[in-house]
């Protein structure tokens, strides 16, 4: 990449970061992270309950909001990054400048990634400090969990940029991004347990490795069977429910594929898109 292109990317990233710092979305993410962490730390002693004695379980409990935080970060900082330039017509001022659309895209993505990683890092920092102060230790594999969560974050951020490059409205892109990861894919994951198929292809299912990595040994798939009355003529019926766990290596590959494909497609579409 030419030095001039690198400077252009850095300039775009700089002004995108300034936009986030001046806006309300970054403040909302930071406040939400602090409030959610405070709930996990304040509510147990307030209701007379004790923290889990196992530092690993305590860390998992605090990090249970991690998936939602990643989705919100991708939605706030990626879902309208491209489409907003066309919808608000600011592209008429930006695109005629002697700067490539690829540089604009990369600069925006870097800025989105930096603030999103910062939000996730703050959440992990609060969790680690809390566990250290309360239990006096830091669970093993905390660093791996953080790394896995960043892989998931980059993957869904790339998909959010893809939606932003395709959609014609910021609202549609924001709604599609949020509900894809918060509702649609989790429903598929849940159906897999009932229908007994492992949704290894689901990126939200793969994100489970960020929390399951704390368990030793790593959990394996299970099938639970139960019996219940089926009615006057049906007699007793047997039902089974599957509990699937994502495999670490396969999940990393799945998230990497999502990132590469979505990132490449979003750059391609953003370069070809006209005002």
* pLDDT tops 70 at residue 275: no
Please state the rounded mean pLDDT for residues 234-248.
Answer: 79
Residue 168 is predicted with a pLDDT of 87
Q: How far is CA 216 from the centre of its chain?
A: 24
Residue 59 is predicted with a pLDDT of 87
| Short-list 107, 95, 94, CA closest to 20 | 107
| Short-list 160, 152, 131, CA closest to 59 | 131
Phi, psi of 234 (to 5 degrees): -80, -25
* pLDDT tops 80 at residue 86: no
Residues 6+ apart with CB under 8 A from 49: 43
Please state the rounded mean pLDDT for residues 104-129.
Answer: 94
Residue 228 is predicted with a pLDDT of 63
Q: How far is CA 33 from the centre of its chain?
A: 14
């Amino acid at each position: 990449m030419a030095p001039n292109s690198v400077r252009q990317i850095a300039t775009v990233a700089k002004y995108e970061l300034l936009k986030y710092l001046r806006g309300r979305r970054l403040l909302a993410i930071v406040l939400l992270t602090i409030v959610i962490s405070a709930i996990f730390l304040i509510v147990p002693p307030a209701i007379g309950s004790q923290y889990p004695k196992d530092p690993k379980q305590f860390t998992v409990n605090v990090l249970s909001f991690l998936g939602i935080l990643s989705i919100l970060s991708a939605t706030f900082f990626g879902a309208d990054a491209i489409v907003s330039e066309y919808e608000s017509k600011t592209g008429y001022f930006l695109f005629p400048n002697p700067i490539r659309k690829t540089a604009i895209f990369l600069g925006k993505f870097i800025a989105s990634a930096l603030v999103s990683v910062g939000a996730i890092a703050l959440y992990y920092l609060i969790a680690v400090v809390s566990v250290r102060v309360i239990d006096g230790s830091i669970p093993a594999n905390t660093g791996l969990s953080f790394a896995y969560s960043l892989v998931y974050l980059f993957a869904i951020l790339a998909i959010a940029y893809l939606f932003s490059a395709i959609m014609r409205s910021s609202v549609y892109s924001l709604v599609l991004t949020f509900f894809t990861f918060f509702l649609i894919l989790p429903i598929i994951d849940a159906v897999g347990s009932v229908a007994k198929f492992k949704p290894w292809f689901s990126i939200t299912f793969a994100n489970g490795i960020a929390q399951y990595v704390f368990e030793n040994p790593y959990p394996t798939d299970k099938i639970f069977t139960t019996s219940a009355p089926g009615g006057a003529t049906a007699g007793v019926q047997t039902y089974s429910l599957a509990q699937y766990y994502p495999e670490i290596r396969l999940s990393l590959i799945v998230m990497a594929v999502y990132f590469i494909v979505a990132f490449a497609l979003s750059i391609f579409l953003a370069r070809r898109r006209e005002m």
